[in-house]
Amino acid sequence: MPANIVVGTQWGDEGKGKIIDIIASRADVVVRSQGGNNAGHTVVSAGETYKLHLIPSGILYKDTPCLIGAGVVLDPKDICCEIDSLSARGISFDNLKIDPRAHVIMPWHITLDGLSEKFRGNSDIGTTKRGIGPCYMDKYERCGLRVYDLIHPEIFAEKARATGKLKNKIITEVYGGEPHNIEAIIKEYNEYGKKLAKYVDDVSVLVYNAAKENKTIMFEGAQATLLDIDYGTYPYVTSSHPVSAGVCVGTGVGPMIITNIIGVAKAYTTRVGKGPFPTELEDKTGETIRNKGGEFGTTTGRPRRTGWFDAVIVRHSVRVNGLSSLAINKLDTLSDIGPLKVCVAYKKSDGTLIDDFPPALEELADCTPVYETFKGFSGDISGCRSFDELPEECKVYIQRLEELCGCPISMVGVGPARDQIIER
Residue by residue, DSSP assigns 331-384 as GGGGTTS-SEEEEEEEEETTS-EE-S--SSHHHHTTEEEEEEEE----S--TT-
Q: Which of 13, 78, 113, 332 is catalytic?
A: 13
238 binds ligand IMO (CB under 6 A): yes
Q: How far is the CB of 14 from Mg ion (least distance, A)?
A: 8
- Residue from the set 127, 285, 321, 335 that interacts with ligand IMO by CB under 6 A: 127
- CA atoms of 33 and 72, how far apart (whole Å): 6
Distant-in-sequence, close-in-space partners of 179: CB < 8 Å, separation ≥ 6: 168, 171, 172
What number of helices (H) and strands (E) belong to the chain? 13, 19
Output 82 or 332, the one with its CB closest to ligand GDP. 332
Piece of 24-32, 164-172, 217-225, 336-344 that binds ligand IMO (CB under 6 A)? 217-225
CB contact burial 52-62 (16+ within 10 A = b; e otherwise):
bbbbbbbbbbe
Site residues (CB under 6 A) for ligand IMO, limited to 6-35: 8, 11-13
Q: How far is the CB of 329 from Mg ion (least distance, A)?
A: 12
- 251 phi-psi bin (left φ>0, alpha ψ -120 to 50, beta other): alpha
SS3 content of the chain, % helix, strand, coil (to 5): 40, 20, 40
Interaction site with ligand GDP (CB under 6 A)? 8, 12-18, 40-42, 44, 294, 298, 329-330, 332-333, 413-416, 420
Is residue 299 within 8 Å of 37, Cβ to Cβ? Answer: yes
295 binds Mg ion (CB under 5 A): no
Q: What is the DSSP letter of 59?
A: G
The size of the interface with ligand IMO (CB under 6 A), counted in residues, is 24
Give burial (CB, 10 Å; 0-12/13-18/19+) of 9: buried
Residue 179, CB half-sphere, CA atoms under 13 Å: how many?
Answer: 15
Site residues (CB under 6 A) for ligand IMO, limited to 260-279: 272-273
Piece of 144-152, 166-174, 298-306, 396-404 that binds Mg ion (CB under 5 A)? 298-306
Q: Which of 41, 103, 241, 316 is catalytic?
A: 41
- CA atoms of 63 and 58, how far apart (whole Å): 10
Residue 180 annotated in active site: no
Q: Which of Mg ion, ligand GDP, ligand IMO, none does residue 138 bind to, with CB < 5 to 8 Å depending on kind?
A: none
**CA–CA–CA angle 62, 63, 69 (5° rounding):** 90
Q: Which of ligand IMO, ligand GDP, Mg ion, none does residue 273 bind to, with CB < 5 to 8 Å depending on kind?
A: ligand IMO
Distant-in-sequence, close-in-space partners of 405: CB < 8 Å, separation ≥ 6: 311, 314, 315, 318, 326
Piece of 130-138, 165-173, 315-323, 333-341 that binds ligand IMO (CB under 6 A)? 130-138
- 3-state secondary structure (DSSP) of residue 391: coil
Q: How far is the CB of 125 from ligand IMO (least distance, A)?
A: 5
Q: How far is the CB of 96 from ligand GDP (least distance, A)?
A: 19
Q: How far is the CB of 55 from ligand GDP (least distance, A)?
A: 13
- CA atoms of 371 and 4, how far apart (whole Å): 33
421 binds ligand IMO (CB under 6 A): no
- Residue from the set 8, 15, 35, 40 that interacts with Mg ion by CB under 5 A: 40
- CA atoms of 212 and 249, how far apart (whole Å): 19
Piece of 130-138, 188-196, 290-298, 405-413 that binds Mg ion (CB under 5 A)? 290-298
Residue 228 annotated in active site: no
Given strand 217-220, what is the order of strands in its sheet? 96-98, 66-68, 29-32, 217-220, 3-8, 260-266, 325-329, 409-413, 421-423
Q: How far is the CB of 236 from Mg ion (least distance, A)?
A: 17
Piece of 58-66, 79-87, 127-135, 332-340 that binds ligand IMO (CB under 6 A)? 127-135
- Residue from the set 4, 128, 225, 251 that interacts with ligand IMO by CB under 6 A: 128
Site string for Mg ion, 2-21 (x = CB under 5 A): -----------x--------
Query: Amino acid identity, residue 117?
Result: E
CA 252 to chain centroid, in Å, comes to 19
Q: Which of ligand GDP, Mg ion, ligand IMO, none does residue 415 bind to, with CB < 5 to 8 Å depending on kind?
A: ligand GDP
Give the catalytic positions in this structure: 13, 41
Binding-site ranges for Mg ion (CB under 5 A): 13, 40, 298
Binding-site ranges for ligand IMO (CB under 6 A): 8, 11-13, 38-41, 125-128, 130, 132-133, 222-224, 227, 238-239, 272-273, 298
